[in-house]
Amino acid sequence: MSQHTLTRTVPGMSCQGCVKRMREAIQQQDIDAEVVGSPEEKRLEVTTTLDDAALDQTLHQAGYPPGTAKAPDQKPDPTPDATPANSNSQGSHQKIRLAISGMTCASCVKSVQKALERTEGVETASVNFGTHTAQIFGAADPQALIAAVESVGYGAEPIVDMREAEKTRAEQEARDYKHRLKGSAWSLALAVPLMLSMFVYHPHPMGTGRLFWLVIGLLTLAILAFPGRHFFVNAWKNLKHHQANMDTLVAMGTGTAWLYSMAVVLFAPWLPEVAHGIYFEASAMVIGLILLGNALELKARGRTSDALKRLLDLQSRTARVIRDGEEREVDIDAVREGDQIRVRPGERLPVDGEVVEGASHIDESMLTGEPEPVKKGQDDEVSAGTVNGKGGLVYRATRVGADTRLGQITEQVASAQNSRPPIGELADKVSSVFVPSVMISHAGDRNDSVDYRLPLRARPGHADFHHDWRGQGR
């Protein structure tokens, strides 16, 4: 009995432990069954010889009764209104991946995910901050999904070719890494000497000291306007959409510190001495340290997608196809089932198929881990991504595109990267209230500031700090 793939929605699936128990139950009935579960989408894919009824009964006995069942390899009845299905479609349902731009923290992830989940036709949606991608299941229109993301202040575009999408993302992150690192260096070059000089030279904002602080203020403004510009741009975008994220906190903190300090420099003669605190160094230091953290985060994020990159590198870009007695090289997306493909010695196989001519040894270590090449001859199955040995082969394509074994492995890895464990969901819930909580508590502190700030005059930057520390007035 031949294997086929069945898909089930399992409401009771909450973690990979649930998937393991279902896999063990199914493999007791069919030892060769392949079971892949995605707890985030409550989705189970089973490649097995069991029929629908037997699979449902097995899941019931295991304690995980399925919801609506779908069989992806059953073709819908042709109708006049039928449209070509997506390669990942299941009836009217499909999997859509979007590349998301503009996210800077977990609060952004929550905003994008909520916008996607509110879109008509979406069953489930998950957003991954590490890869800046979103994965959506359902029957939603891709343009509606893009519009939903843009409506909350972020950018989105569909991922058509995963290899090109990964390449584009890697190039963009490399540019951002250099930009953040350079911005951090300029910011800290101003902030660190300025902060250290507070214990040696910290003039009062009067006379020549006023000119000194005016120059420092303009240099700090340059830091905010250039290396730190994206914090203010993103904060303004979020404000227009009635949202707040970490960029909002950074922009408010550094901007307020600069405005207050500049007001002190300009109006020092008319302000009480206790209000002569200057915080330019704080603005520059915050921008510099956060940019440094962003750069390190980008560096670390690139490593998380290395597994997917290596899998994508195994896929050939072209194939040598024999059509109408003529051999031609075509793009891998143009290969169809039933095409005859010639593979020369040392080349990587582009799609799955069955050998019709020739004999060779195939290196299948990328699939099986077996270091010894496997002999292949007529009627033997071969897989995409494996490497041909010294012989030449002609084989008939049986599975192409995402349907190949390599394509399915790549798909599962990409899905795993987009899934989040329960602790990740908890972190998202906490982060969604973190920014508003900080802003509310800050507002409360400002209301009480008169009661506790007046005695605290020994801070560097206050007039009495140098009087008390150095034992003399200005």
Pairwise CA distance, residues 414 & 97, whole Å: 10
- Sign of the torsion angle spanned by Cα atoms 19, 22, 23, 24: positive
pLDDT in single tens digits along all 474 residues of the chain? 677 888 888 887 877 778 888 888 898 888 888 888 887 778 888 888 888 888 988 988 888 888 754 433 443 343 333 333 333 434 446 788 899 998 887 778 888 988 999 999 898 888 888 778 898 988 889 999 999 999 988 999 998 877 777 888 888 888 999 999 999 999 999 999 999 988 887 788 887 888 999 999 999 999 999 999 999 998 898 888 888 888 888 999 999 999 999 999 999 888 888 888 899 999 999 999 999 999 998 888 777 677 777 777 888 889 999 988 889 999 888 899 999 999 999 999 999 999 999 999 999 988 888 888 999 999 999 999 999 998 999 999 999 988 888 888 887 777 776 665 666 666 656 656 776 777 777 666 655 544 433 333 344 444 444 444 333 333
User: In the prediction, which pLDDT does 304 show?
Assistant: 66
User: In the prediction, which pLDDT does 214 show?
Assistant: 94
Is pTM beyond 0.85? Reply is no
Amino acid at 408: Q
Residue 254, burial from CB neighbour count under 10 angstroms (0-12, 13-18, 19+): buried
User: In the prediction, which pLDDT does 428 show?
Assistant: 57
Residue 188 has phi, psi (to 5 degrees) of: -70, -30
- Sign of the torsion angle spanned by Cα atoms 102, 104, 110, 111: negative
Work out the number of other CB atoms within 10 angstroms of the CB of residue 463.
19
Tell how far CA 314 is from the center of its chain. 22
Three-state helix/strand/coil letters over the chain: CCCEEEEEECCCCCCHHHHHHHHHHHHHHCCCCEEEEECCCCEEEEEECCCHHHHHHHHHHCCCCCCCEECCCCCCCCCCCCCCCCCCCECCEEEEEEEEECCCCHHHHHHHHHHHHCCCCEEEEEEECCCCEEEEEECCCHHHHHHHHHHCCCEEEECCCHHHHHHHHHHHHHHHHHHHHHHHHHHHHHHHHHHHHCCCCCCCCCCHHHHHHHHHHHHHHHHHHCCCHHHHHHHHHHHHCCCCCHHHHHHHHHHHHHHHHHHHHHHHHHCCHHHCCCCHHHHHHHHHHHHHHHHHHHHHHHHHCHHHHHHHHCCCCEEEEEECCEEEEEEHHHCCCCCEEEECCCCECCCEEEEEEECEEEECHHHHCCCCCEEECCCCEECCCCEECCCCEEEEEEECHHHCHHHHHHHHHHHHHHCCCHHHHHHHHHHHHHHHHHHHHHHHHHHHHHHHHCCCCCCECEHHHHHHHHCCCC
